[in-house]
A and B are shown apart, each in its own frame.
Chain A
C-alpha cells in the first residue's frame, strides 16, 4: 500500500508541469488569500507592537475620572500638587516625587504623504518627565531647554510629517518654535508626538495653570495599589490612576477593533472563495486525468492511494501558494511605516506593519487547510469513479 501511495503520488507531482496553467492558477489563488490575511493582520500587529512598547509596568497615568483619553481630561494645578504628594510614587535621590504633569494638545500640521493637514499630537512636559519616561533618549540634536520655545520630535513623527528636522522653525498661530532634537522611546506611542515645555504650552493654549494628565513612576505593583487607594479615597480630587499598559491598550482598542473586524470578514470570505477556487482547479486536474486514474485502478491500485495522491498534490500546491503569499506579504509590508488616526484622541499615531513569525506560521497553516479542503472532494471523486465508464471517457 505504501509503495502504491508513493508511486501514484510521485506520478501526480511529477506531472504538475504538464498541467502548469491550472496549477499556477490554484497557487496564485491561495497565495492571494495568504497575502491578504497576513497583510491585514500585520496592520493590527503593528498597532499592537506600538501599544506594547508603551506599556512600562511601573509607569502610571492619572486622569480626571470619566475621561477616557488625555485629550479630554483636565487637572487643575492644585489637584496636580495633591497627586504629587500621594503615597506610592517613587522618589529620586533628592526625595522629589517622580511625576510629570503634562498637557496634551494637537496642532494642525501637514502629513508628508499627500500634504493634507493632520492633527499632530503636541505634549507639554515638565523637567521631571525625562526621569519618569526613562527609556526616552535623544538620538539627534539635543533636548529642549525649559522655558524656551523649543520642541523635540519623536522619530516616527519626524518620518510622517513635513519639515520636522533638527534646526527648523515651526510657526503655529502666534507661537514660533525651534525643533532642537529627535527622540526615540523603544517604538512607543510617544514617538508619534512632539514634546515641549509645558509651561510654554499652557499660555499658548490658554490653559492657565491646568494640566491634562500626570505621569508617575511607582516602584512596584504594591505601590500602584497604594497610590490608587490614596487617590480614589481623597475627597479633594476626582481622578483615576491607571497603568500605562491599561491606558494604551484602551487607546488603540477602537483602531484594533476596526482592523480586526474588517480583516476577519475579508479573510473568511476570501478563504471560502479560494477553497472553491482550489476545488475547481483540482477538479479540472482530476477530470483531465480520468482515464489515467481509471487505468491505475484497473491495474490494481487501491482507492486510498489515489485519494492520497490527489490530496498530496493539492496540499503541495496549497503550501507553495502559502509560502509565496507569505513571502510577498513579508517583503512588501513588514516594517512599512505609516500613520493613522487614533479615534479616541483625534490625533495621529504612527506605527509600522509587523509581519510576525507567528502570523506567517498561521498563514501557512491556513494555506495547508485550504489545500486539503480543495483537494478532498475531487480526490474522493477520483477514487469512486466506476472504472469501466471512466476508461471510456475522453
Chain B
C-alpha cells in the first residue's frame, strides 16, 4: 500500500496518454453495452420464452386462423394443463404509424398462462375479466400516449374492421408491468368476444384463433405432446404445427436473418480493435520504463512486488475506462431503452452480460500489464539498465 504513490506518479507522468487510453477503453466498453443490447433485441426476447409453454399455429401459414373447437380437443390431450388463444389484431392509435402489438384473447386463461409476463393488481385483473369491452395495456405504451386506468381509448384495426368503419372503443381496465427484465411492455390485449361480435356470422373467420398457447405439466414431455396434437389434426382442412414457445421465438428471430449476426460480428471486431490499440499503448508505456524497473530491482524490490506495481497501474487504467464505459452504457440503455422508439421491444442490457464485460475489463488490465512486466523481469538487471 505504501507504494501506491509510485503507481500514481507513473499514471500522471504522461497525463495526456493516460487520459486518451482510458478514453479509448471507455468507448470500447460503451460499444460492448450497445452490442449486448442489439444481441438481445435480435434474439427477440428468446431468453424470456417460457419453458413449459407450447404454441399451436396453422401448419401452412400463421395467417390462417385455427377453429375454436380445437381448444377443447387440445385441452384433453394428456399432460396439457391449461390453454389460451390469441388473434393478431394489428391495432393503431389515431395514426397508422402509432402501431403496437394488439391481440384479442380470453382474459381469464391468458392471465393464468402468463402470470409473470403480465403482472396486474388483483382488482384490475378482475375488472378486465368482467369487462367485455375492456383492455389491458403495457406500461410503456400507456406512458407513451398518456393513458390511465378507466380511460376509454379508440383503437383502429388494420385487419379487422367494424361494420361502421369506426374505431373500437376499449376501456383501459389495467396497465400491466412485468417482473421480467426486458419484457415487452408495449402490447394491448382485449377480450375476443368484443371482436367476435363484429365478424359476420358465416364468415370463414368467425370463431377462429391465430394461435393457441398451452402449458404442460412436464416440459420434458413437450416434443411428445406436440407430436400428439399435430397427429390429432392431421389430414384435416386445418393441420397444425405445435412447438415450444422458445422454438417459435427462435424461428421468428432467425427470420430476421443474419443481418443481426453480421452487425454483431462487426461491432465485436471493432471493439477488439480499439482494445488492441489501447492495450498496446498501455504495454508500450511500461516497456519504455524497463530500465526504471531495473533500478527498482537494484534497490531491492522483489519481482512479485514490481509485477504487482505494474499490474496495479494497468488494471487501474482498464477499470476506470472500462468500468465507466460499462456503467454508463448499462444505465443509459436501461433508462432510455429502445433507440428506435418501439421497433425493438427487447432492447436491454442483460445483467449476465455485464459480468462478461467486467471479466473483459479485468483481462485487458492484467494482460496489457503482465506481458511487459514479465519480459522486464526476465532481463538481467545489468542488461535492463543499459536499455534505453
Chain A interface residues toward B at CB < 8 A: 21-22, 25-26, 28-29, 32-33, 35-36, 39-40, 43, 64, 66-69, 71-72, 74, 105-108, 111, 113-114, 116-119, 172-174, 205-208, 238, 254, 257-259, 261-263, 265-266, 269-270, 272-274, 276-277, 279-281, 283-284, 287, 338-341, 343, 346, 348, 377, 381, 394
Contacts and interface: CB of A to CB of B under 8 A. Distances in A.
B71 to A, nearest CB: 20
Contacts of B156: 66
B64 interface: yes
Nearest to B251: A116
A66 B267 contact: no
B20 A106 contact: no
Contact of A284 (B96, B165, B284): B284
B229 to A, nearest CB: 16
The binding surface of chain B is classed by DSSP as helix
B372 to A, nearest CB: 13
B274 A270 contact: yes
Top-10 shortest CB links A-B = A273-B27, A277-B277, A276-B24, A32-B273, A173-B60, A72-B158, A340-B257, A206-B204, A276-B23, A116-B254
Given A32-B270, A67-B158, A273-B31, A280 B388 contact: no
B297 to A, nearest CB: 19
B62 A119 contact: yes
Given A39-B266, A72-B90, A280-B20, A108 B60 contact: yes
B28 A173 contact: no
Nearest to B158: A72
Contacts of A26: 277
Contact of A287 (B14, B27, B254): B14
Interface string B130-145: 0000000000000000
A29 B28 CA distance: 12
A163 to B, nearest CB: 16
Contacts of A238: 165
Nearest to B276: A25
Given A68-B158, A283-B20, A29 B61 contact: no
B344 A280 contact: no
A72 B275 CA distance: 48
Interface in B273-301: 273-274, 276-278, 280-281, 284
B308 interface: no
Nearest to A274: B274
Nearest to B241: A108
A68 B335 CA distance: 31
B76 interface: no
A113 B31 CA distance: 28
B258 interface: yes
Contacts of B59: 108, 173
B163 interface: no
A283 B259 contact: no
Nearest to A264: B339
B320 to A, nearest CB: 14
Given A29-B273, A119-B255, A36 B266 contact: yes
B254 A111 contact: yes
A283 B277 CA distance: 12
A116 B253 CA distance: 10
B386 to A, nearest CB: 13
A138 to B, nearest CB: 26
Contacts of B165: 238
A262 B24 contact: no
B38 interface: yes
Interface string B312-355: 00000000000000000000000000011001100000000000
A351 to B, nearest CB: 10
B59 to A, nearest CB: 6
B31 A277 contact: no
A332 B258 CA distance: 14
Which of A66, A262, A339, A343 has most chain B Cβ within 10 Å?
A262
B210 to A, nearest CB: 11
A207 B276 CA distance: 60
